[in-house]
Structures are given as C-alpha cells and as structure tokens.
Amino acid sequence: MGYTTSLVNGICLKIDMGNYKVIDGRQRLTALFKYLNNEFSINSVSILTYLKGKKFKDLELREQIKLEDYQLIIYIIQPQTPD
C-alpha cells in the first residue's frame, strides 16, 4: 500500500507525480480503488500527517474531491505484430 499512500499524498498536495510507464498497474489501481471504497486507512505519512489513520470517508470534502477528480493517464500498448 506504500505506492497508494504516496499517490494519495501527491494528489492532496497537488504534486506533479511525473510520467510513469506502467506495464501492469493493476495492483496499484486496485489499492487506490480500495482506498476510495474505505477498505483501508492511510498508515504511514511523512508530510500530510493529518491523513494518518484516515479512510477516504474521514477526509474533508475538498480532499475527497481532489482524489475523485484526479485524472489518470492510461496508455494501451498493443502487442507487436510480425513484419
């Protein structure tokens, strides 16, 4: 869940998370969606300490909106075709 914590912190801080080339991001996306569904709380934070121990439902409305409105960029990589 470490990546999810970093992602949530980054979104709340409006930090540019940079460009990631993720071939298989299913585990990370699943963790993010589980957080949005209140299935776990943020346990380790270094900057936004007020997030510690909070589930999504415990966040202030403006923080919830930031997370819900965050746009993920998705690239679909098609298998290479023989020449």
pLDDT tens profile 25-41: 677 778 888 999 999 99
2-36 per-residue burial string, b: 16 or more CB within 10 A, e: under 16 = eebbebbbbbbeeeeeeeeeeeeeeeeeebbeebe
Chain CA centroid to CA 39, Å: 14
Confidence of residue 4 (pLDDT cuts 50, 70, 90): low
Confidence of residue 3 (pLDDT cuts 50, 70, 90): low
Confidence of residue 61 (pLDDT cuts 50, 70, 90): very high
The better pLDDT of the pair 79, 61 is held by 61
Model-wide pTM > 0.75: no
Residue 81 to residue 66: CA distance in whole angstroms: 40
Q: Tell me the average pLDDT of the chain.
A: 76
Question: What pLDDT score was predicted for residue 6?
Answer: 64
